[in-house]
Structure 1
């Protein structure tokens, strides 16, 4: 740039009008062109002619979260940074779902679409599959599945209906990546993704959670790791209605329990480590209602 500012340029081939590439180009302009948020990558400009489509973004020198976690530099992403990235990316998605009008569905939330600036601050990126949704709580039926394998919510794959909870599921997969250091697919056998693997490995026992934590995090505070892990499980609930909203996710993540409070005492008289029928974490979040004293409270119980 003339002011010596580094920028990132994304080139999309010119295809027939109405093609996937054409839709992706228009989706990026329509979404990023109208929003400004600290944790969403900024679109600086674009150029389109009969030969090419160019999108110009602010430059993110540390690449993507996916590269940091699964590339050669993964060991340099310590727990405090991972936790910070989890909160920042959640705030970016929360803005799309709750503060934009109409609200915006990202539809391709994944670690490779969370970019990191020079301070390792997270920025949600790549809005080529984004959709506008007029009303919260409604869904839109798509003609085909879009998104990335390993991140797609089960109800979307079955019904082709997408809403905010589809993004929440994908975000939950990202949280599992942050905790385990593993890719969402390809490491667990044919047809097994990280959500299925985590459920199988932990099997309802809190002691087993430590066995799936990224070994590059030897000094990570256990209560923080467990807290993020449980939030991830809420986000990847099989039933979309059981998942929290992104506003609730932000509140839960930022209200970190102290010490071992993330793991509550089991119900019943056993007092052991089994999680067959205990309450591990019970979190109540408040959503603003019509007045100061009129707030909608939602409680989430994990396992």
Structure 2
């Protein structure tokens, strides 16, 4: 649900809607199923977590150095929300009143562990620096083994790498792109209410968390063609067709231009679904001089 203080166009543009319609029609790309299916790409999970802050004794409110002996309570997870890319429905878990008062996030940590264990690729905003490390911390505290390996796509990193927006915050980027916005929390009082075990606060926290998933999915789709280090979707499809590494589509428009690397030249293409630029598998020209200047 978008912020009601603003008016926006529909969440996705025509190219993005075309991609989703291809999925729903059962075309080549983005079909659900097991990775062994020759027309099935990776299972992509979009997720976000919310945590309680630390409690500590401090001498002031500015530039404080807080020692571990000054901590009153450690942080813990309040809620998580997630969805599988292009599948209907966002789901999540939040602490009960009793769990929050006891700072017991083991139950919801296990729910998030199960999803990561199933995912091939996970997507989110600032997940590499925050969400994943926070989750790994709670997994270790609760004695869980690591989930199965997965690749990550951090939209905050992608924004910082490719653009120069005035801010790279999720809500600001989505405002600029005129897509789904974050929900207003009403401020820090929401976190206080959750830590006090107030059921209404915990319910609102989960709603806020789930709205972030819609915003994160929209941002991911909008900047997808710009993500140069995206996990190669073609690796999850069991065929030998040249495919877009960003979305897995085989509908490629071969350009007249050439894609150059430091040592080789390749045929260039533009994906007709996500519009990412890619290159052919085989080089059309290779440099005959080594990087140290000695002719081979």
TM-score range, shorter chain: under 0.3
| TM norm structure 2 | 0.28
Larger Rg: 2
| TM norm structure 1 | 0.28
